[in-house]
A and B are shown apart, each in its own frame.
Chain A
């Protein structure tokens, strides 16, 4: 179908408006991070006092670097654990046959329907019993695996042609070898996706760390940002804005690196 000129113009107009709505606040945030707080307070957004001083201040005066480190440790651990346990779980649901397999899978699916907020109180009680409060463990252990990850990888593993399993059986690969040498490389796109997803999910956690961490030593970035705001007596907005930008950078890196891998057609040629 050929688009008429008006159609095309309209379409781009809508796209441009949506882009402005979405990217506008981000650009505004980035811009204000370059301005002195005095200018922000006065509302002179088109100031000429542009500098990276806010960033220097943020790094020197606040615990932002510690927050970043905490978040990195927590997110990387969560990501690695989810990749391992979700793929093992999904493998069992696809390649092992045992009694009650489907039922068990539906039970796991059912947990996805429960919002996290509804689980907060029992989970909190549990981690307190286990003496895990205010430690990395409290932010990693409850998230070692995820129902969504198992579900996603199960769907992806099911795409593996049964002949590959048969070929591997003839060559004498056991389940561990088949898991490691065939399943994981075959499903690598889904694994990258899950890795990016679980990293970002962990990075953006707010409610759970707020409830379970009490010191800068373990506090991750999102709660750290909140902390900055309440700590600063005169609310140094420029510096808080600079910290926020620093916090966003890893997210952008993950998405940017990630999209390189999200290509179609990598598994073509296995079977006709």
Chain B
């Protein structure tokens, strides 16, 4: 079942918009993630789709039919909550069967569906236990089984993994994704964790400041961020956002230190240039003109993360080979050899400069558009 959000808006009091102009199309069988920082309205949007919160403006369509004012039960969807929302006085089996019983399914079908759902989430040996006798991960599985057992083909999930520990979360991510594919569910998944969204979703909606910032595939969002918010929200370590100004025809100077050649001329103005730490390179120590000083060194295992300051004091994050022995206070020579994103002063992306190896102190190799 596809879902259509048509200029949805929510205001609790007049002109105090929690969400505005949310438009999206969610394909049948798609895993659609809604991502944003706390308080951006993502849970509100999910509850509007579920029918738990009335929609102020706009139109919601489920499976081609207008559902804007339908009560939740008629929207044919299920919901998995961050806090699991299990009934503590019911056994696992009864928790899973709860919705089916409420919808008056025949007893035989309830049993079949419940048995199958419990089997899918590997809880067979716990089916007679109460929620209080289960671990966090098992409780989460019960909540999932409840959604699976339902005949609804749309499942809304509100940060379902955020109460689990890191190891389990990674495991459940894969399990959840596999289940979704296996059952052909349309999933709308709310999370504040960009990694979760990147790894699981077919499409991602980035919400911030009451508005949609970008909708796209994980690759799109990562490689073609629409603005500085999206650019800095996705990817670890975070993208560096450096102030830039036009210093020559087809040339930008970043933080008064790094030079970036442009494929086409830009009007003279202030810009912000985004460069991921992985798109910066370091000359071997002692080579080149030093232009950044190391402030802290963090070992991440496969690489090290350097927090440094460019000569004009602008902070910048760099990654380096863990074999190199960097220490706070060392001077480095930094250059650009990956993609750079040019944003205007409001943060909207202008274009991307694909990476060639360029260095501030050396020749300015021409960049390609």
Q: Do the beta carbons of B88 and A266 come within 8 Å of each other?
A: yes
Q: Which of A139-147, A171-179, A251-259 lies at the binding interface?
A: A171-179
A163 to B85, CA, bound (A): 5
Interface residues on A, range: 20 to 34
Q: Which of B20-28, B95-103, B224-232, B277-285 lies at the binding interface?
A: B95-103
Pick from A164, A166, A173, A188: contact of B102, CB under 8 Å = A173
Residues of A contacting B84 with CB < 8 Å?
Answer: 163, 270-272
A161 within 8 A of B: yes
Q: Do the beta carbons of B71 and A270 come within 8 Å of each other?
A: no
Q: Mark B75-92, 1 if CB is under 8 A from A, else 0.
A: 001110111111111100
What's the least CB distance linking A97 to chain B, in Å? Answer: 13
What's the least CB distance linking A190 to chain B, in Å? Answer: 13
A25 within 8 A of B: no
A185 to B86, CA, bound (A): 13
Which of B52, B82, B103 counts the most A-chain CB atoms under 10 A from its CB?
B52
What's the least CB distance linking A191 to chain B, in Å? Answer: 12
A186 within 8 A of B: yes
Q: Mark A145-170, 1 if CB is under 8 A from B, else 0.
A: 00000000000000001011011111
- Contacts A177-B102, A269-B131, A269-B139 given; indicate if A169 touches B85 (C-beta within 8 A): no
- Contacts A171-B102, A186-B89 given; indicate if A166 touches B81 (C-beta within 8 A): yes
A117 within 8 A of B: no
A47 within 8 A of B: no
Q: Do the beta carbons of A268 and B72 come within 8 Å of each other?
A: no
Pick from B79, B81, B99, B132: contact of A269, CB under 8 Å = B132
Q: Do the beta carbons of B88 and A268 come within 8 Å of each other?
A: yes
A108 within 8 A of B: no
A161 to B83, CA, bound (A): 9
Q: Do the beta carbons of A170 and B50 come within 8 Å of each other?
A: yes
A265 to B89, CA, bound (A): 11
B175 within 8 A of A: no
A246 within 8 A of B: no
Pick from B72, B87, B89, B163: contact of A272, CB under 8 Å = B163
A164 to B79, CA, bound (A): 11
What's the least CB distance linking B4 to chain A, in Å? Answer: 20
Q: Do the beta carbons of A171 and B131 come within 8 Å of each other?
A: no
A235 within 8 A of B: no
- Contacts A269-B134, A272-B163 given; indicate if A172 touches B73 (C-beta within 8 A): yes
A182 to B95, CA, bound (A): 11
Residues of B contacting A126 with CB < 8 Å?
Answer: none
Q: Which residues of B are at the interface with A, using a C-beta cutoff of 8 A?
A: 47, 50-52, 71-74, 77-79, 81-90, 98-99, 102-103, 130-134, 136, 139, 163
**Which 3 residue pairs across A and B have the least CB separation, nearest first?**
A172-B73, A269-B131, A269-B132
